[in-house]
Structure 1
Amino acid sequence: MNGQRVCLDDLWLASGVGTNLSPTCWLQEKTTQQTLLEMNLEMSMSETDLVCSLEGAVYATHELSQMYASWVDAEYGIEVINALLAFVDSSVQPVKEVTDTVEAGHAFIAAVEKERALIS
């Protein structure tokens, strides 16, 4: 996560799906473009406030990251929603603050894998 944004590339890597379901492909979808336009108008936010690229990775708001994860796979989308809710819940204390984006990606992937193991 980067501030209030989630790294879609980390979500994509954690999902284990192919390149045809990458964040770049999702952003090119007509429905995604329509959603971004509607969010721009309704929330008075620019597209770069909603989605941005940083150090070669795509970051998006929580809402858009949930939409992306659900686009990848409905069940995975639910997992991501639950993980984000747990993350923003003030009663959940992170084990440690992670400032390195690569380390953060690995931590997120590990958390998702742990969650999947608990569900299985």
Structure 2
Amino acid sequence: MKLPEIAIKVGCPQWICKKCGKARERIAKTEYDVLRKSRIQDQPKQKMRKDNFGFTKGAVARSKHYTLGWTDCRCRAGWEPGIVLDPFMGAGTTAVAAERLGRKWIGIELSEPYCSMAEERIKRETQQLKLFRE
């Protein structure tokens, strides 16, 4: 389930405007703490690219991400979940992932056995999600 969830998070907005369809985007701030320059001895041999001082060109850093807010389209029409399109639905894995992430979805499948399988799976998963959310 991880792969479809990653694709949905990257490719489908969490919220879209009900009127104009514009995606709501996160306004974020990222801070980096450089811990130290990475030394040659810390790197696997195949990754070594040293400068003249025995250090690699990169540094070891830790990042922190802060959400400052969300964009607004100024329509004031409210927000609804983004829509995931799966043109080859198969067993419904993408639809289940979309449900888990709170997105709407549209699935297309030509094979009747797969349609039945997907329908059962989605029904079972959405019932579990309803119990979990209550």
Q: What TM-score do the two structures reach when normalised by structure 2?
A: 0.20
Q: RCO (CA 8 Å, sep 6+): is it higher in 1 or 2?
A: 1
Q: Whose strand fraction is larger, Structure 1's or Structure 2's? A: 2
